[in-house]
Amino acid sequence: MNAIFRYLFMFFAMTSASISFAQHDHGMGPKPGKYFGYVKPEGLNVKIPARLDLVIVQNDDEYAHLRATFKVMLGGFQSFEYVTQYYEKVSYSWVGQELTFESDQRELMLANGKVHMMNMKLMIMGDFRSSAGGVTGSVTLVHFPEEENSPPEMLASTIFPDVPVLTSLTGSYKGMCEEDEYELQIEASKWHGTNGFSTNPLVGYMIRGRLGKRGDQVC
């Protein structure tokens, strides 16, 4: 029974906050569900598609709390080239509308998270840092309602609208070597490669390439 009462209290608190936030545009905690948006690396004129999944979990001996999975994707929201970070605990401060993401791993770190309401959309904004190469930047995400039928690209179209999306590794690359034209075809797959913890943001990838020289008939 205690677990049931804790869950009902958590649900009532989040529902009450939602009503207050809709009326006053402040004071609301993050809604569980999917968030889509972009990471904007500092000093680079590119943006990287990102997805955050927030879920409520509760064991018999603890209060309900949030956990999250954060995914950064090269090339688009449906890309097979991605990096994922799991956060065992996500806490929220009702005073400053601040989100804190906690994880034992440090590949992708989210800090200074804030919950906002902009243009009738629930947004999460914060700072981003990758342990590989010390890449820093900002992240902006918008809540994706369950009844939403639009693709993520349309939902997040107002986020860094004038910045191009960072392309994926997979593709064909052409170049000249003296007077000869070469073509390099690269294929990156997330389903192959090594397992285990690594500070490399491409952990789990198998990157394969084929190099060809253009002749009269074949490459």
Mean pLDDT within 30-56? 92
Quote the CA–CA distance of 148 and 150 in Å, as a whole number.
6
- Give the strands of the sheet with 171-177, arranged side by side: 171-177, 180-189, 206-213
pLDDT at 23 over 50: no
pLDDT of residue 169: 83
The three-class DSSP label of residue 196 is: coil
Mean pLDDT within 120-142? 87
Query: What residue ranges define each of the domains in the chain, with the CATH number in brackets?
Result: 2-155 (2.40.128), 171-213 (no CATH)
Instruction: Calculate the CA dihedral of residues 103, 45, 51, 17 and round it to 10 degrees.
Output: 80
* Per-residue model confidence as pLDDT tens digits over 167-199: 888 888 888 887 888 888 888 765 544 555 444
Quote the CA–CA distance of 87 and 21 in Å, as a whole number.
26
pLDDT of residue 22: 32
pLDDT of residue 132: 65
Neighbour count for residue 189 (Cβ, 10 Å): 14
Of the pLDDT bands very low, low, confident and very high (cuts 50, 70, 90), residue 12 is very low
pLDDT at 164 over 80: yes
Mean pLDDT within 200-211? 65
Of the pLDDT bands very low, low, confident and very high (cuts 50, 70, 90), residue 138 is very high
